[in-house]
A and B are shown apart, each in its own frame.
Chain A
C-alpha cells in the first residue's frame, strides 16, 4: 500500500466518519467537515478515483 485507504464508517447514532489508513498502518478518523483539510483530501481522492 503506497497511498491512504479510505472507508466511510457508520456510527451507531446514525452519524458517519471517514476512516483513513495510511501506508504506515496508522488509522485516522476524519469528520465530515469541509473546513477540515483531511476531508478535503478525501474529496479529492474520491473525485480522482471516479
Chain B
C-alpha cells in the first residue's frame, strides 16, 4: 500500500507493494518530484535577473515618455524616428494576466510613423554585470498583447563589457521572436548566452551589463539583431518580464523573491527619489558656507551602483530666523555611493550657520533624486 512523504506529500511505494507495480510507482514519484521542484522555484530570490519585472515601482512618477528615457524603475525605452509613446498603465483589479498574482501596473509602448532604416523602439533593462548568464542557457519570458493584429516582439540579449581602459566590443545575441495577439498571453524564448572567455572587462567598476531588449519596431539596420523584425506600428502591452537560467520558463517571480521592500531597495541601487511627503517636509541638515550657498549631505536609502547624478524639484533652505529661502540651483559636491551631497544655491543665509533643506512650503511633491543607472 502506497504512502505519502512527510513534507511534500509524494506518493511512494511501501515494502508490501507488488514488484510489478514498481515502474508505475517510480513514474508517479518522478512526476511529484518534478512538480515540487518547479513550484519551489516560484519564490526563489535571484531567479529572475530582471528587477521590477512586474512594474510595481514608478519612482520617477512618469506619465508619458516620447524620447529615449527611463520610465518604470530600471526600464528604459530606446526611441529613434517616428512618434513613440511609453506610458504606465494600471490593471483593473482582477484583470491581470496571471491568476493569483494581482499585478498593479503594466507598460504600454505605442509606435507610429517610423520609416528609417535606423528607426528603433526597444523596451529594455540593463542587467548589471556581464558575467550574469554568461556561457549559460537563458530563457526570457513575458506577458504581452497587441492593440490590433498579430505583431511581433524580437528579443535580444546584448553583452557590454563596461567602460574604462580598452574593454571588448559588445556582443549582441538575437534570441528570437514571438507573435502577439490582442489577448494577454505568456511568451518565452530560449537562447545560448555567449561565454565571456577571452573578453576584456572595462576597468571602471560596476559598468558592464547584459542588456535585455524587447524590440517592438526596428528598421533594417537592426535586422541581424531582431531577426528582420521590421518597422511595426501598433500598441504593445508588456508585463511580467523574467530572465532566468535554463531552457524552461518557470512561474514568474520578482528578483527579490516577492518582497516589496527588497524589490524597492534593488531599484534604489540605480535610482531613487525622496519626496518631501509633507508640505515643506525636511530632507536633511547642512552648513552654509556663504550668503548664497550651503552644502547638504543626506544618506542614500541603499548603497548605489556608483556616484549618482543628482537633481531636485522645488526645495528651500532655512535662514537664521528659520524662514524658508527658495533653492535656485544644485551642484553635485562630495556625493558617493552612500551619500547624496550637494551645494544648494539660495539667498539670505549666513556663512557658518547650520541650515535645513526643506520642501518649498507650497507642495508635498518637492523632491531630491539620484540616478546611478547603467
Contacts and interface: CB of A to CB of B under 8 A. Distances in A.
Contacts of B206: 35
B287 to A, nearest CB: 12
Given A19-B331, A35-B207, A39-B309, 20 more contacts: A9-B331, A11-B331, A12-B290, A12-B293, A12-B343, A15-B333, A29-B309, A29-B310, A29-B330, A29-B342, A30-B332, A31-B307, A31-B335, A33-B306, A34-B163, A35-B204, A35-B206, A35-B305, A35-B306, A36-B372
Interface in A1-50: 9, 11-13, 15, 17, 19-20, 23, 26-31, 33-40
Interface of A: 9, 11-13, 15, 17, 19-20, 23, 26-31, 33-40
A48 B231 CA distance: 28
Interface residues of B: mostly helix, strand, loop or mixed?
Answer: loop
A13 B309 contact: no
B371 interface: yes
Contacts of B372: 36
Given A12-B290, A12-B293, A35-B204, A30 B309 contact: yes
Nearest to A34: B204
Contacts of B164: 34-35
A11 B307 contact: no
B53 interface: no
Of the candidates A9, A12, A28, A37, the one having the most CB atoms from chain B within 10 angstroms of its own CB is: A37
Nearest to A38: B309
A26 B311 contact: yes
Contact of A38 (B207, B293, B330, B371): B371
Contacts of B10: none
Of the candidates B206, B307, B309, the one having the most CB atoms from chain A within 10 angstroms of its own CB is: B309
A17 B163 contact: no
Given A34-B163, A35-B206, A13 B307 contact: no
B331 A35 contact: no
Contacts of B314: none
B205 interface: yes
10 contacts: A17-B333, A20-B309, A28-B309, A29-B309, A29-B311, A29-B330, A31-B309, A31-B335, A35-B306, A36-B372
Nearest to B162: A35
A36 B290 contact: no
A39 B329 CA distance: 19
A49 B343 CA distance: 29
Contacts of A35: 163-164, 204-207, 305-307
A45 to B, nearest CB: 14
Contacts of A37: 207, 373-374
Interface in B291-305: 293, 305
